[in-house]
Amino acid sequence: MALRTIRTMGDPVLEKRAKEVTEMTERLKTLIGDMLETMYEENGVGLAAPQVGVLKRIVVIDVSEERNEPHVLINPVITETEGEQTGYEGCLSVPGKVGMVTRPERVVCRALDENMQEVTLEGTELLGRAIAHELDHLEGRLYVSLVEGELVDADSTEPDEEEVEE
């Protein structure tokens, strides 16, 4: 496995719709492993293939604190949403910035796993947000188009030491 270069906002590949995966190949297995390694190295919770310059409908997500519960989603489709949540969202393709975004509170997604077996993934809170965010990448959309207000420096959203209650 190897680390991949993450494409950043302004790169035209991030504005293109990714293509369906029709069969699992050794090359795609390597891509998935590289995507997971890159996501973990960059401290992300999700990564879509277009973010590493590959226009395939593949995303990886891991919102676990231990970083040991990866989800591989191939050709994912959101089949159900419910409620809404608003909070700061960031992206490895928009480094150092975050913005306030409203997403569904609960998201259900149907996809294929790395063995091309059908899976269903249901997520709420951060997992729900990550599913919706990563699937937007497959359509050529960055979260910045959904930001309410302006992008801010990621560091400015953390509470100051004197604001933290003991």
pLDDT in tens, 86-128: 999 999 999 999 999 999 999 999 999 999 999 999 999 999 9
Query: According to the model, what pLDDT value does residue 149 have?
Result: 94
Q: Is 78 exposed, middle or buried (0-12, 13-18, 19+ CB in 10 A)?
A: middle
Query: According to the model, what pLDDT value does residue 158 have?
Result: 56
pLDDT in tens, 133-156: 999 999 999 999 999 999 999 987
**Mean pLDDT, residues 60-65 taken together:** 97
* Position 139, amino acid: E
pLDDT in tens, 14-48: 999 999 999 999 999 999 999 999 999 999 999 99
CA 17 from centre of chain: 15
Residues 136 and 57: their CA atoms lie apart, in Å, by 11
C-alpha to C-alpha distances, 22 to 52, 57, 64, 149, 160, nearest whole angstrom: 20, 10, 29, 39, 49
Residue 161 has pLDDT above 50, yes or no: no
Which domains does the chain show, CATH number per domain?
A: 12-159 (3.90.45.10)
Q: Is 134 a catalytic residue?
A: yes
Query: According to the model, what pLDDT value does residue 163 have?
Result: 39
- Select which of 134, 148, 161, 166 is catalytic: 134
Q: What is the mean pLDDT of the chain?
A: 94
Residue 165 has pLDDT above 90, yes or no: no
* Position 95, amino acid: P
